Amino acid sequence: MTDPTVDPDQIVTAEILVPCDDVRTEMPYFEKALGFRLDKIFPSDDPAVAIISGHGIRLRLERDANVAPVTIRFACTDPALFAQGQTKFTTPAGNTIIPYQHNPPLFQPETQHVFAVRRLADEAPWVIGRAGMLYRDLVPDRLGGSIIASHIRIPDGGPVPDMVHYHTIGFQLIYCYRGWVRLVYEDQGPEFILKAGDCVIQPPEIRHRVLEASDNVEVVEIGVPADHETTIDHDMELPNGTVNPDRVFGGQKFVHHQLKDAVWQPWRVNGFEHRDTGICDGTQGVASVQVARFTGETPKPTQHSSDILFTFVLEGSMTITGEGHDPRNLSPGDAFVVPPHFKTTYGECSDDLELLEVSLPGRFETTEVA
C-alpha cells in the first residue's frame, strides 16, 4: 500500500472526530465545563453533529460515530485548580479529559554514579535522530537520566533540514569534533562557522538552527538532564536582527569558544595542560568545559568532588584504571564517566593525547591520592 498523494494547500481546516451518544448532553459539557464554543450544529430538529472549537483545536461531536472514545489533554497553569485535584475524568459520552502542567519546572534526576567506559570499537549502535543526524550514546544508562552525551555525525554535507527550535534544558554543549557546521543563534548576530576544536553552549531556550555541515562532520553534544523537550519556533526567523551577546537565557549566557583563541595553562591532573572555554563563567558555575593535552609527565592517581565528570578522547591513546578495575585501553571516540571520590589513574598516554572534559558543577576539587 502506498501513501496517497495529497496537496496540503487544499486543506481549509481540520477537526477531530469525537463519538457521543447524544450531542445535546455532550456539547453543553464541552461548552460550560471546558470553555469551547459552538460553531455548527445540524440537523436543527434532532442534532446529530456539533462542531465546536477552543484552546487551539476543533472537535466534531458526532452521534453514533464508529470510532473509539478519544483522550484530550489540556495544558493548564495549575491543573489542581482546573480540575479540583482530579488528574483524569470523563465526559458524559465516555471521552477522557486529562489536565497537565503547562511548562513544568525542569526536573533534574539525582545522579546514579558509576564508573563506566564506552568504546567506539564496541560499536554502540548509531541511530537516526532529529533532522536525519546519526546519534551514538556515550554514557550507558545516562547516569539515571541526569545526563545524555551523544556522538553525532552527518555523513553527507550540505544544507541541514533543521528548523528554528529551542531546548528546555539545564545545560547543553556542542563541541565540533571533525569538520565544520554552520549555525545561527538568537540575539548573537549573523550565522557563523563552528570549526573543529570550537564549541558553543546553548543556554536554556535560546532559539537556534543548524544550517549547513561539511561532509562527515562529527560533534559531541552534552545535555542535562537526559530527557528534555525540543520545541519548534515557527514564528522566529534567524538571524533575528538583534545583537545582544550579554543577554541571559535561564541564568546563562551564550558562549562561543574558538580554538584559534585558546590559551593553554596547567591542568588539574599533572602531566597535562588545558584550554578553558569560558563556559564555567558563562553558566554561572553550572558546568565547565575544558580541553586537555598531554605534556609528558606521568600522571598521578586522582579523585575529584564533581557530581558528573564526563571525558571524551579526541586524539591519541591512553589507559584508564579505576579503583578495583583492570586498565582499559582508550582511543579516539571513546568516552568515560568517573564518579566523585573514586580513584582513577591515567596511564600510557600518547604524545598526541587530547581529552574533552565536561563537569557539572563547573567548580570542584581534584586531589592526588596514593
Q: Which domains does the chain have, with CATH numbers?
A: 13-101 (3.10.180.10), 116-248 (2.60.120.10), 261-368 (2.60.120.10)
Q: What is the pTM of this model?
A: 0.88
Residue 131 has a pLDDT of: 65
Check: CB of residue 272 under 8 Å from CB of residue 294.
Answer: yes
Q: Which three cell numbers stand for residue 362?
A: 563547573
Helices vs. strands in the chain: H and E counts, helices first = 4, 34
Across 14-24, average pLDDT: 95
Q: H-helix or E-strand containing 24?
A: helix 23-28
| Per-residue pLDDT at 129 | 77
Cα separation, 340 vs 113, whole angstroms: 8
In this prediction, residue 86 has a pLDDT band, given cuts at 50, 70 and 90, of confident
The residues pairing with 346 across neighbouring beta strands, listed in sequence order, are 320
Closest CA to 126 of 224, 218, 226, 229: 218
Among the listed residues 333, 352, 346, the one whose alpha carbon sits nearest the alpha carbon of residue 295: 352
- On the question of pLDDT at 127 being above 90, the answer is no
User: What pLDDT score was predicted for residue 123?
Assistant: 66
Show the cell assigned to 260.
584559534
Mean pLDDT within 85-109: 91
Q: Decide if 369 contacts 329 (C-beta within 8 A).
A: no
Distances (CA, A) of 355 to 69, 130, 270: 55, 27, 14
Angstrom distance (rounded) from CA 139 to CA 148: 7
| Contact criterion met (CB below 8 Å) for 275 and 263 | yes
For 193-231, the pLDDT digits (tens) are: 999 999 999 999 999 999 999 999 999 999 999 999 999
